[in-house]
Chain A
Amino acid sequence: MSRSMNPPADLRARVLAAAAAKPSRTRSTGQRLATIALVASMVLALSVFELSGGSAHASDRDPALTFELAGGWTAFAAVLAWLTLGRGGSTLARRPQLLAPIAFMTPLACFAWMHVFAGTYVEPFERVGYRCLALTLAMAALPLASFLYLRRGVEPRHPSALGAAAGATCGAWAGVLVDIWCPLTNGPHALFGHVLPLAILAGVGAAAGRRLLALRAR
């Protein structure tokens, strides 16, 4: 059986005319927008961080511990970003078998990493973690919204898995700054203030991804 079949001659003219009638962003424009979104996200996150007291808020903890905690989580967040945003040389996003575990495992990995440091120093105060939760959500909101905007309507395979992984990745990067800011690593605080926002962001990413990233009628 021949795989190719010649479509009617008038289809070519119709498709080319429809394409010309709806100009789309070129790759360089897309890259410029992505760079602007990235810089704006970083500026916003750093502003929120500084307005909340910056690294001085965790000054009662040994700086070496803070460096170790945030450094390890930065490496984890970098791997997540590579897995979620990188596409391995393809135009399609990575497989859902890879993206879905990112969304599920990131909150668990966060708890496990914080647990490594829990009890290794005397915590300066006790907090439930409302501010850590709010800070993570605030810092992750813009990069997640930018990702959803820039990739809207173009994901043909598994938009919710991609959205969930993007949410978890944005949360992980916000978590880096929150780890520098917050001197607490005990279990209950870690669960509420650090793990819960990651789960929320993954959930929001999945729901928003399903609606926004999926192909739209043209």
Chain B
Amino acid sequence: MKTSLRFLAAAGLLAVVSGCATNVNTVERAQSQATPNYVSDKRVITDNTLARTVRVDAIKQAVVSGNLLKIQATLTNLKNDLRSVRYKFEWIDKDGMSVGGPTEGWRVLQLQGRESLDISTVAVSPRAVDFVLKISEL
């Protein structure tokens, strides 16, 4: 009786662990041909659980259409199951003031287990020179 209970518990645990796994494998060129412009960033962590779940790997920037700043961040899910986060980009002008845009707002992002995804946005105002990326748990 005890043995079968143990077996059931082990099988259940295995089902939970393997059933939830939705990890993503990737393949890419060994020597990247791209020459991205990485942004050195400053991080403020107020949610340690979130920081242990989703990591911001890198932030790149580019100028599009002559004078508009584009920012792209690569986020990685550090867990083995599907995770959802909210994120928001805010723009700052050269005087340190917020440049609110008509399309600015929180977005939802779903990451499969161990998956890395790029999120990006373009500043609609040429006044934007800096940005703040906010991430919160869904």
Asked if A and B are interacting partners, one says: no
- Chain B interface (Cβ < 8 Å from any Cβ of A): none
